[in-house]
Amino acid sequence: MAHTCFGMPKLVAMRAACAIERITGGLRAVGHADSKSCHAAEWIRSTDFALSPKRYKAHDAFPLPRQAGSYFQRVEAGLRVHRPARKDRNDMVMNPTGPNETSLVIKPTEEEKGLASQLKAAGNDKNGQWQEEFAKYSGRSVVVLTAAMQAALKHRDYEEGLKAYQKLEMSKMDLPAFTNSMKLLGKLGKLDEVERLWEQLLELGRINKVAAQARIDAAADNGDMEGAARVLNYMDAGGIEADTLHYSSALNACANAATAARSKSAQELFDAMVTKGIRPNIVTYTNLLRARQDEPSEVCLDILKDMKNRNVMANAVFAETFLFTLLQSTQKGGWTKVGVIAADLQRLPPADLQAAKHFIDELRDAKVHLSRSCKLIEAALQSVQRKKTFTREGEDLEHRRENRWQSLE
């Protein structure tokens, strides 16, 4: 006789229990699973799970579909990084009022879906007029409001994006809404509000790599080294694997911090990163350099040496940061004329000037685009070199003249 469960043949019961497992996986998280559904789930684990563990996994019982592309800007190096964000469920969202509550989503209308697509397209267009499209909308669809916040982040229209955030109903927010809200509020310096959203995600147990990235980005924009470090520690403790983007953003927090401890903290972060086998990129090195810009020139050269050893190619942003750091410029905005730069450079050790010239020559050989500031520094270095050569030749000529007069006497 076939094995039965609750009076059903084994095959039917297995299929039914699979369905129950998918449902109770979500209900258990909010504390609403009854005894029969839990018993059915336990039965299927003891039978089919043992035979095919790869097919049925408890943590996959309630799969979370991926959201269609969500963009996260890396402002410091002019990069735009894409991470696919995970939505919660097709018909349920996270309710920030407590971990044991859920709320039904009001699905967007076709018109709202079309508006969200228009906002995304306008956000991706450098000249896109996303504000005009959004101004016509008076609803509260989380899809539309999230698209508006994304467009605001890309165009740096943060105050306009805040209007979209203020329309959000907290009980209807999904993960993309939370992450974009944290990034937007971070740009506006509203760290208390960012922390409130982060705490809500912690209570819900819905932290993933994207949410952690958004929280670190908000900390970075405000020079909050401690906040960035807390997120990295949470990721380590929770088994969420941090990557290059997380550490690069945390280094950006150090670079933007107004404290003498930022240099040491940045180096410790970098060392921890490479110890874990995480490969730094050009954004990582640029932020590390910015965080350690008050150190002697030897530190700057050591960072460049480490970057070369790891075969990381310089770009225009790193080149400018390196030259201003190496040459100890305290008036980055004031270096607009070759003569002014040349006068400042003459007070520096010849070894630093030679290192700067050699670095620029390497960039030229590698065909790296140089910013206007780099070109001005290059011209100033050439001017200083010509002046020193002229002075040396003049001194030699004067010395020869003195020797000639002495011989005539």
Give me the residue spans of the domains in the chain: 4-60, 66-205, 223-312, 325-409
DSSP string, 27-56: HHHTT---HHHHHHHHHHIIIIIHH-TTT-
Ranges in the chain, pLDDT < 70: 1-106, 329-334, 388-409
Please report the pLDDT score of residue 333 as a whole number. 56
User: What are the helix (H) ranges across 310-348?
Assistant: 316-326, 338-345
> Quick check: helix, strand or coil at residue 94?
strand
Please report the pLDDT score of residue 265 as a whole number. 97
Write the pLDDT tens digit of every residue in 308-367. Answer: 999 999 999 999 999 999 998 655 556 888 998 999 999 899 999 999 999 999 999 999
Fold for domain 66-205?
Answer: 1.25.40
Please report the pLDDT score of residue 298 as a whole number. 94
Q: Say how many C-beta atoms besides its own lie within 10 A of residue 407's C-beta.
A: 7
The token pair at 57 is 């996994």
Q: Say how many C-beta atoms besides its own lie within 10 A of residue 136's C-beta.
A: 7
Q: Say how many C-beta atoms besides its own lie within 10 A of residue 279's C-beta.
A: 12
